[in-house]
Amino acid sequence: EMSEMSERSKQNVAHGLAWSYYIGYLKIVLPRLKKSMEDVSRTNPNILAHPETWKLHILVPLSCEIYDDLEKADSNIQYLRDLTETILARAGTRKRVYKHSLYTIRDDDKLWHCAVEYATPLQSLYAMSQDECAAFSREDRLEQAKLFYRTLEEILKGSKECAGTYRLIVYEDSGEAKTHFLSREILWHLRQQCHEEYAVYEGNHPHASFTTINSTELNLQISESDLPQPLRSDCF
């Protein structure tokens, strides 16, 4: 009965997605990431000049709208190359391939390079909101996207294997696409990592005009309870 009730009310959607993403993907690839970065840096030292940015930059748009091609999302983001593949036997699939892509992020006066990709479970949340059978509204999607981010953040903070190997970039993109919005979001995080490495940044927050949402703000926008909450049904 409890299982049927949970299924009918669609509880734990984001909570389950976050744990699945961590266990089935991030916990596998993140501990191996820096070695892949080192392999590239050894032969191309100018590409990865900032070791403090040798992390997987995970994009978390709260709208759940994801581009399969980052170059189409922002022309200031250009594919450079793939990192060294990780090949493992996984759940019956022999030689399953895990890999990440390096991108060049164009700044006004320089080029940055980093590994960046979307949090793929957000595609599921978006697809659910487009499928009548799921009865999943846009408001539900936003609420669950926030819960996904907060849950994933808490999981990764407690993971010793993944410490120092990732950077979550959460943002609330408006319906009106701004020119080079995404590249500016990524660039802010890249610069901030350099500041964190070499100096404590002082003064006004340079990112104040952007729309990045931090964990504290998310805590104010969703339930104060740490437990997963059922989705609302009052809009149907």
Q: Is residue 198 part of a domain?
A: yes
- CA 147, 118, 114, 42 torsion: positive or negative? positive
Residue at 227 is within a domain: no
Region 117-142: what's the mean pLDDT?
Answer: 85
Q: Is residue 231 part of a domain?
A: no
Per the domain annotation, does 66 fall within a domain?
yes
Looking up residue 154, the CATH number of its domain turns out to be 3.40.50.12100
Residue at 226 is within a domain: no
**Taking Cα atoms as reference points, which of 137, 117, 113, 112 lies closest to residue 125?**
137
Task: Answer yes or no: is 233 within a domain.
Answer: no
Separation between Cα atoms, residue 54 and residue 62, nearest integer Å: 25
pTM, 2 dp: 0.80
pLDDT in tens, 207-233: 533 444 555 456 544 444 444 454 444
Classify residue 217: in a domain, yes or no.
no
Residue-level pLDDT at 165:
96
Q: Is pLDDT above 90 for 168?
A: yes
Full domain range(s) for residue 82: 12-203
pLDDT (tens digit, 9 = 90+) per residue, 84-115?
Answer: 888 888 888 888 899 999 999 998 888 999 99
pLDDT reported for residue 10? 52
Rounded CA separation 138/129 (Å): 6
Q: How confident is the prediction for the chain on average, in pLDDT?
A: 80
In this predicted structure, what is the pLDDT of residue 200?
41
In sequence order, the β-bridge partners of residue 117 are 58
61: in domain: yes
In this structure, are strands 166-171 and 93-98 parallel, antiparallel, or unpaired? unpaired
CA distance 44 to 81: 12
Predicted confidence at residue 103, as pLDDT, reads 96
User: CA nearest 120: which of 53, 228, 189, 20?
Assistant: 20
Residue 156: pLDDT band with limits 50, 70, 90: very high
- Look at residue 163 and tell me whether its pLDDT is greater than 60: yes
Number of domains in the chain: 1
**How confident is the model over 143-155, as pLDDT tens digits?**
899 999 999 999 9
